[in-house]
Structure 1
Amino acid sequence: MFAAKSLLVIGIFYLCSILPVTLHAETSQNGTWTTAAPAPTQRTEVAAAALEGKVYVVGGFSKPSLQNALKFAISSDMEVYDPTTNTWSIDTPLPEGRHHAGIASLDGFLYVIGGFTKAFLSIWHAVPTVYQYNPSSKTWREMAPMPTARGALGVAVYQNRIYAIGGYDGKHNSAAVEIFDPEKNTWTTAAPMPTPRDHLAAATVNSRIYAIGGRPELDYHQNMSTVEEYDPHTNQWQPRSDMPTARSGITASVIGDRIYVLGGESGEGTFATNEAYTPANDRWQVMAPMPTARHGLGSAVVNERLYVIGGGPTPGGSFSQVNEVFTPPKSATLKE
């Protein structure tokens, strides 16, 4: 009897000792999250990009206050996060407030493209403006405007060009794909996106650009799971596997050969969803969800870690200063 009880106790002890390791292993297969220093201000509908090892968070809506009431809480702020020191600093604000703008980092400069601003009593006035930020001089410069004014667009970079994709022009969805050459300060037009939409995400992997998710006519009750691939060399689009979860108001960043698509909103609430797409095999995998569900968030990658910042925890006008960090799984290939 004593021997049997001893074996039972030893068995329970052994099970308890290995269980946390097993759970940790299962979690790490889908990546892990940690929390970093929160942003200085609460914002949503921000634009974020990495530049010289830091994360720049620009524009959006600030939490309403008496100080920003005349601007309809539309922000021109630029806050900079340094992952090395886990600290924030305040940098030169945008020349004019923007929300739902596109953003790109290229050749040591930051570009903020399009978006919405206020006009009379509306906060949905689409603009074509392009602002270039020089981190050395800490100054902004206005560049040649987009041919098509729009906000809630997707932006991607390929071979020293910036691609502005889709969005909302103030009345309708735009299918426009316009290409900016910063060196020449000129725009050209490419084949339109097959499925016009706004609040989408765009990302580049290898030699292709992907337009992911979104919504029609600003309506998050009709979220899309659509994924379309653009080949800059042939100027052609083709459909790819749908995203597992139809979402809009999302953000996307690339680590290695995968696109991670995070967050979003619908009529029922916000998403903590984190889904990874591997273009090489046209497959999606559900990854570890964000600790904080939100939409209108920004993301950027520094040293193989994905920083997801700001955004609204509830649909519509809500705000946060959350800064959560995703570390992808070490395995080189997503599970089938």
Structure 2
Amino acid sequence: MRRLIILFCLILFTKSFGWEFRRPLNIPRSFLIAPSVLGKIYAIGGIKINNEITNVVEEYDFLSDTWIIKKPMPQKRYDMGFAVFDNKIYVFGGVSRSSSGRLIVLRDLNVYDPILDTWFFKRPLPSPRAGACGLAINNRIYVFGGYDFSENYLDEVLIYDIERDSWLFYGNMPRPRARMALSYYQPIVHIIGGEFYGPTDKHYCLNLNNNNWDTLSPLPFNRYGFSNSYFDNKIFIFGGEYYCHGQRYFLKRVDIYDCENNNWYLGDSLNIARSHAGGGIITNPYGNFLYILGGNTINGITGSMEIYQLSGIKEKEINKIDKKDNKNILGIYDLLGKRMKENNLKKGIYFYLIKDKNNYYLKKKIVIK
């Protein structure tokens, strides 16, 4: 008979020592997406060094610092949008090539299940677009902006109903744009920077409770093609590019927006200035890490990867792992950080990584046979 004993401890927050390099992509590329799901990072699509559009998918394992090839996307594409819901990656729009070699803008919506390593087709966008950004909120995916085949910038906001597999028109942004930052700080959606016939610093917000738009403190530096993420009531904008007197400049710059105080401050710079990279935040038993990988640099397309530790994770005191927790478990890990399955736990210590709204915490379990 197996007995379960639950113990508690506190994992202290740790100080980061700046951006650190990790193993590069097997296939360098730019204009890719790189969401994280269940403690792993998925580098999807993009443009390779030879300017070839690709549908390759690579999976990054944090513990072993390795990349492996997974099942490719159904269609080659770059500059697509994405959102993550229920541990699945929703990929929409983007740019591809027709059978004749002509560039085309897509309507496709494909869903990747990392657990099954399988792609599914869903109802396509109402109209083609690339450079759009998405957020998953309450069983819906909100899609903002982008550009069409004629390179007209879009101000549309669309909603995809996941359960009904249907699209509806939500409204319009104050200004058209593409390749911007999109973050959600309940009930506010932040739309920051991006491209509208050149880089912009505009910062708008949408209150989903009353559908009203407002203007907030602008991005300190005009740019687009950056990576971004949200953590602890802050929005991180890292990398990107801008133009000055016809010259293209890549950025190492990291700007941090405080959602509560509506102000900006500088963070630690990247090691490599880059734009149109994949980036985001990953949470695992070691802590919360920003990451950026691939992209365009002054030396061309890169496959390099950098991470930045934001903090460790606090354990939350509990008496048992209840039904509510079971729905929110992102993963089970041993002391070395190896992902485990519930029915394969042997004698030892394990950590349950659990998400509660925008917060993450660990539950520590000791299994005694």
TM-score, length basis structure 1: 0.82
More helix as a share of residues: 1
1:95 to 1:127, Cα distance in 2 relative to 1, 3 A: same
Which residue number corresponds to residue 37 of structure 1?
23
Deviations 1:261-294 (A, max 9, x none): 1111123310111111122111111101110100
Which residue number corresponds to residue 88 of structure 2?
109
Which residue number corresponds to residue 311 of structure 1?
295
Which residue number corresponds to residue 3 of structure 1?
none
Deviations 1:8-39 (A, max 9, x none): xxxxxxxxxxxxxxxxxxxx989721111111
Greater Cα shift, 156-165 or 93-102:
156-165
Q: Does residue 125 of structure 1 match 2:109?
A: no
CA distance in 2, matches of 1:60, 1:297: 9
Unaligned runs of 5+ in 1: 1-27, 65-71, 331-336
Deviation at 1:168, TM superposition (A): 0.5
Give the 4+ runs in structure 1 shifted more than 4 A: 28-31, 120-124
CA distance in 2, matches of 1:247, 1:58: 23
Which residue number corresponds to residue 215 of structure 2?
239
Q: Does residue 266 of structure 1 match 2:250?
A: no
Which residue number corresponds to residue 158 of structure 2?
178
CA distance in 2, matches of 1:149, 1:183: 22
The residue type equivalent to 1:61 in the other structure is I
Unaligned runs of 5+ in 2: 1-13, 313-369
Which residue number corresponds to residue 120 of structure 2?
141
Deviations 1:98-118 (A, max 9, x none): 100011211021111111112
CA distance in 2, matches of 1:124, 1:251: 25
CA distance in 2, matches of 1:246, 1:31: 27
Q: Is the 8 A contact 1:59 1:98 kept in 2?
A: yes
What percentage of residue pairs aligned between the two structures are identical?
Answer: 26
Which residue number corresponds to residue 275 of structure 1?
255
What CA RMSD, in Å, does the superposition of the two structures yield over aligned residues? 2.0
For 1:1-336, list aligned pairs within 5 A. Answer: 32-64=18-50, 73-119=52-98, 124-171=103-150, 172-217=152-197, 222-267=198-243, 268-303=248-283, 304-314=288-298, 318-328=300-310
Partner of 1:190, secondary structure, is strand
CA distance in 2, matches of 1:30, 1:323: 17
Aligned length: 290
CA distance in 2, matches of 1:297, 1:239: 27
The residue type equivalent to 1:246 in the other structure is N
More strand as a share of residues: 2
Q: Is the 8 A contact 1:155 1:201 kept in 2?
A: no
Partner of 2:301, secondary structure, is coil
CA distance in 1, matches of 2:78, 2:281: 21
